[in-house]
Amino acid sequence: MRMRALITAGLVGLSVLATQAAASGQSAADPLGEKQWGLAQLRATDAWATSTGAGQIIAVVDTGVDLGHPDLAPKLVPGATFAGCGDRPTPCGNGDWRGADGVGQPTDVHGTHVAGIAAAVAGNGIGIAGVAPDARIMPIKALENGSGTFADIGAGVRYAADHGANVVNLSLGAQPGTQLLTLLGLTRETKDAIAYAREKGVVVVASAGNETAPLCDTPAWESGALCVAATDADELHSTYSNLALKLDTKAVSAPGGASSRGCDDDVWSTVPRGAGSSKCGQADYDSFAGTSMAAPQVAGVAALLGAQGRNADGIEKALMTTARTPLVGLRGVFNPVYGYGVVDAAAAVQQPL
């Protein structure tokens, strides 16, 4: 059984602009900041006066990260590679997206994109800003060519928990129906690793899935993980996103993009240098959509909260109780579409410690 990165296909056009603007002061320092409508939807920049995530480490368990990307390199802590190791002992590398064989697969740009959303450098005159601009990134390569085993992903989560990560981001998932296998104990590696991380005080954030299914995919389904569904620039539930349903109801929503409009209606972030698509017109950045893009937004906010000295329970409580349901304006009230609502960073960091 394998899991795969959760990203939608078919980014189209350049003509549609996001309906929400990023904070006006950000764009000069981060040229693509004006395209980061997700930061405005999260009210992340409003939260930065209180916390920027300093001292927190976000482990990105994914396809690896471009270790030399200028918007990420200053933020990196040592990482590890578990996928593609063959017969060699693991870990067999340092989390570089190119893997143990030194070859970067086209689908493996995913982890670099996820890492940038969570914690890219802010105010450096290039690219974008991450949700937690002073948090650090631990690159863990548990997927090769866009997919990986439960065993490799579980090993990556355990490595993160044992090497100082405060937050683990899992922008990946198995096919709908696989939840039954974990419920029956037929596959345990990732489930047990999430429980292990949670026992060590690590917040685990995971993507809901992109199949328009009623339940969060595993590993977001597991009780130790916070499931994240996706919203578009209008704060509507993204059409591809799974619903925010799981047994323990630990679920929220965050910006993931539309997938069916244009580049600026999806989520801009870092990609390995030179890997940007011609559609969106940037060499080192690109715009993707998916619950993969929603999860690191929440991981970033979790780092903002962790930097205030909150424990894992306190972080989850602040995220869920302050999240807002679009249109009706309710906060901290669960519903099957948005979970507890769209995460509100500015409100969350103001919650009592």
Residue found by looking up tokens 């339940």 in the block? 215
Peptide bond into 352 cis (omega under 30): no
110 catalytic? Reply is yes
Q: Which of 137, 142, 163 is nearest to 72 (CA)?
A: 137
DSSP three-state, residue 177 = coil
| Set 62, 66, 134, 217: catalytic member | 62
| Set 171, 241, 253, 292: catalytic member | 292
Burial (CB count <10 Å: 0-12, 13-18, 19+), residue 327: exposed
User: How far is 47 from 20, CA to CA, in rounded Å?
Assistant: 17
Strands (E), the chain: 2-5, 57-62, 80-81, 136-141, 147-149, 167-170, 172-173, 203-207, 225-231, 251-255, 267-270, 285-288
Residue found by looking up tokens 């569904």 in the block? 229
| Set 30, 66, 108, 110: catalytic member | 110
Q: How far is CA 111 from the centre of its chain?
A: 9
69 catalytic? Reply is no
Catalytic residues: 62, 110, 292
